[in-house]
Structure 1
Amino acid sequence: MGSSGIRWGFNIGNWKPSRNEWMLAARCVMQEEKDRIGRFVFTKDGKASMSGRLLIRKVIADQLKIPWNAIKLGRTERGKPYLANTKSYDYYGKPHAANTDSDYDYDAALFPNFNFNLSHSGSYAVLAAERDRNCGIDIMDVARPGSRDIPEFFRLMRRQFTPHEWETIKGAGSEWDQLEMFYRHWCLKESYVKATGTGLGVSLQRIEFHPKTMVLKQDVIIKDTELYFDGDLQSSWRFEETKLDEDHCVAVALNRDNQDEPPPHFKILSFTDLTSSAIPILPEDENFWTIFASKEEKPKRQQRDRTSYQQPSGY
C-alpha cells in the first residue's frame, strides 16, 4: 500500500450491471449486507451500497491478504465499519499455524492500526485506507438543493457552519461557486468526524476550516486547508482535497500527519478491478437480479443547471 495509503473510486453512475455482474456482486457480500442492499427502492442506491461493500472487501483482501470469503466486517456504535476478524492470516492468505483453532488479532504485528473509510454521493463511491493512522473520507455531488433556491438553502443550514465559514462560502463568487464552497466545507467536516469516529455527536460549530487554496481542480490534490477546533489550530491533522470531476468534490482527513508524504491520487476502478480478488460467499440468487432489474434507477428531480445561477445577491 505504501506510506501514503490508498484512494479508490468507483463510478456508480456509469455502472449498468449486467445480470452476471449483479449476480456475482450479490454472491460476494455477507447475507445481511445483501438483504440491506435489496431493500433499496432505487437501483442507484443499491449500486452505491453494493460497490461500497465490495470496495471495503477488496482493500482488506489486497492489503492484508485475508481471503475475501474469510473477511468479517462490523460497525462501531457510531456506524463506522471496521474489520472484525480475530484470526490471523499470513501474506499468502493462510491462517497462521498456531492460530488455526484459536482466536487472535488479525496480523496485529503487521497492521495494528489499519484503517479505512467509505463515502458515496452522486455518481461515485470512494474509499480511503491507511496502514497506520486514522482516516475519514467524504464526497459530495454539487447539485441543486431540491426545490429550494440557494439563499433559502443556506438559511436553513446556517447552524452547521461558523461565521468565518459562512464568510468564506458567500465570498466564493457566483451562487454556483458558493454552492461548491458550501459542499466543500461539508466534505471537510464529514471527513473529520468520520476519522475521529464521533459521527454527528459533536457540534459542527466547534469545527472550523480555513481554506488557503480557494478553488479545487480535478486531479489536483491540495493539502493546505487548516482545521480549528474550539478556536485552536489542530496542526496534527491534514486534509487532502480534490475534485473527481466537475461536479464531485472529495476530502480525506488524516491524523498524525507527515507533510513530506506526497498525497496519493484517486484510482477509479472498473467492476473487473473491484472483483479481481473476490471469492463468492453466497449461492446464486436469480430472484435478487429479477427484483433489481425491475426497479427504477432514481427518483425524478430537478436537473443540475449551472447557467441558472446568478451572481451573489448580498445575503
Structure 2
Amino acid sequence: MQVWAVLYDPPTFTEELYQKGLLLVDLASVARIKRFYRREDACRGLIARLLPRILLKERGVAPSTMTFAATAAGKPYIMSPNIDPPIAYNLSHDNRLVVMAFADGKSHPPAHSIGIDVMKVHLPRGNLYRSFVDTFEEQLTPLEQELLSPAVSADEGLRRFFWMWTMKEAYTKALGLGLGFDFSRIEFDILANLVRVDGEVPQGWIFHKFQVTDAGELYVGVVAELMEDIETLVVPETSPTPWLQSFKAAPFVQRALEELTQTA
C-alpha cells in the first residue's frame, strides 16, 4: 500500500498550467471539472484525475489505453487491460490536500479493497467546538461521544473527532458503499486504537493513520485496507510512513505534462 499526497498552492498553480492539465484527461472528466464554481475546486478535481494516470504511466500503461469506470456505488476503478497485478485505488481531498491510496488488487474490479479519507483539523467558520461535535451526535457511538465529552479540551476533542470521522469514511469507502451507511455502526476507540463494526472487531483489516502538515495546518487521514487473513490492526500516526509521498501541485502537474504527453 502507498499514498500520494498533493498540496494545492493557488499562487503557483497558474491558469496556463490548469488549462494544459485539462488536455491530459478525457472529455467526460473535463466536463465534470468545469462544473465546479470555484477554481480551487476545479484544480483539485484535475489533480485527482491526474493521480491515477501518473500511477498507470509508472506501471507502463500507455496514456491512450488508460480507462476508468465506477461501481454502482460510485467507487472508481481501473479498466485498462493487461495490468498485472491489478491496481486498487481510492481518492480523497479536503481544503488544499488531495490524496490517493493504492495497492495491488486481485481481480477486476479489484477484490482487494482500499479506502482513504483525509480532513483538515479545524472548526468551520462560525462554529464552536461543542455545537460542531453535537451536530454529528447521531452518527457517533456512545463511547465516541464520551471520548468527545466536555471533560476533553476543545483542541484534543477536535483532533479526536476528525480521527473518528476519517476512520468511518475510509472503512465505508474501502467496502465500496455509497451514501446512507449508518456511521453509528462504526466505532473508533481512539484511546485503545480499536475499530468495531456493530460491536465487533471486523477481521482482516489494517488501518493506517497518517498526518500531513501544511503551513502549520494539520490534516489527519486514514487508509483502510482489506488484507483478509490477518488480525485487524490500527497503525498509529506516530509510526514511520515510508509509504507516504508528498508533492506540490504545480510540479506534480508539470510532471504529468511531461510524462503523459510522451508517445503512447
Q: Does the CA-based 8 Å contact 1:226-1:235 persist in structure 2? A: no
Counterpart selection for 1:125 from 92, 98, 101? 98
Moved more, 117-126 or 175-184: 175-184
- What corresponds to 1:299 in structure 2? none
Give the match for residue 80 of structure 1: 75
The one-character-per-residue Cα deviations of 1:124-171 (angstroms, maximum 9, x if unpaired) are 000000113321000001121232322222222101110111122337
Q: Is the alpha carbon distance of 1:19 and 1:227 closer, same or farther for their aligned partners in structure 2, counting shifts above 3 Å?
A: same
Residue in 1 that maps onto 2:198:
230
Residue of structure 2 equivalent to 1:71: 66
Paired position in structure 2 for 1:267: 245
Shift of 1:199: 2.6
* Alignment gaps of 5+ in structure 2: 106-111
Q: CA–CA distance in 2 between the matches of 1:229 and 1:172? A: 26
Instruction: Specify which of 277, 286, 305 is matched with residue 259 of structure 2.
Output: 277
C-alpha contact 1:28 1:280 (8 A) present in aligned 2: no
Distance change (3 Å), C-alpha of 1:55 and 1:230:
same
Q: Is the 8 A contact 2:123 2:132 kept in 1?
A: no
Aligned-pair distance for 1:37?
Answer: 1.1
Q: How does 1:1-315 map to 2 (within 5 A)?
A: 5-13=1-9, 16-63=12-59, 65-85=60-80, 88=81, 106-107=82-83, 110-112=84-86, 114-132=87-105, 133-170=112-149, 173-212=152-191, 225-245=193-213, 246-256=217-227, 264-270=242-248, 271-274=250-253, 275=256, 276-279=258-261
Compute the TM-score of the two structures, normalised by the length of structure 1.
0.70
Q: Aligned pair in 2 of structure 1 residues 172, 115: CA closer, same or farther (>3 Å)? A: farther
Per-residue CA deviations over 1:167-200 (Å, capped at 9, x if unaligned) read: 2233783212211211111100000000000133
Q: 1:160 to 1:186 in 2, by over 3 A?
A: same
Structure 2 counterpart of 1:210, which letter? D
Give SS of 2:118's match.
strand
Q: Provide the rounded CA distance (Å) in 2 between the counterparts of 1:177 and 1:204.
A: 21
Cα separation, partners in 2 of 1:146 and 1:57, compared to 1, 3 Å? same
Aligned residues of 2:18 and 2:43 also touching (Cα < 8 A): no
Over aligned residue pairs, what C-alpha RMSD do you find?
2.4
Structure 1 residue runs of 5 or longer lacking an equivalent are: 89-105, 214-224, 282-315
- Aligned equivalents of 2:151 and 2:91: distance in 1? 28
- Identical amino acids, percent of aligned pairs: 26
SS in structure 2 of the partner of residue 151 of structure 1: helix
Q: In 1, distance between residues paired with 2:162 and 2:88?
A: 25
Q: CA 1:150–1:68 in structure 2 vs 1: closer, same or farther (change >3 Å)?
A: same
Q: What TM-score do the two structures reach when normalised by structure 2?
A: 0.83
TM-aligned CA deviation for residue 211 of structure 1: 2.3
Pick the structure with greater CA Rg. 1
Q: Which amino acid aligns with 1:277?
A: E
SS at match of 1:201: coil
Hey, what's the Cα distance between the residues in 2 that align with 1:253 and 1:212? 18
- Could you say which residue in structure 1 is the equivalent of 2:109? none
Residues 212 and 61 (structure 1 numbering): CA distance in 2 closer, same or farther, change over 3 Å? farther
Query: 2 CA distance for matches of 1:172 and 1:190?
Result: 26
Letter in 2 for 1:149: L
Name the structure 1 match of 2:108: none
User: Aligned-pair distance for 1:18?
Assistant: 2.3
Q: How many residues align?
A: 242
> Contact 1:13–1:44 at 8 Å: present in 2 too?
no
Answer yes or no: is the 8 Å Cα contact 2:160–2:190 preserved in 1.
no
Between 123-132 and 225-234, the greater mean CA deviation after superposition: 225-234
AA matched with 2:29: E
CA change 1:37–1:151 in 2 (3 A) is same
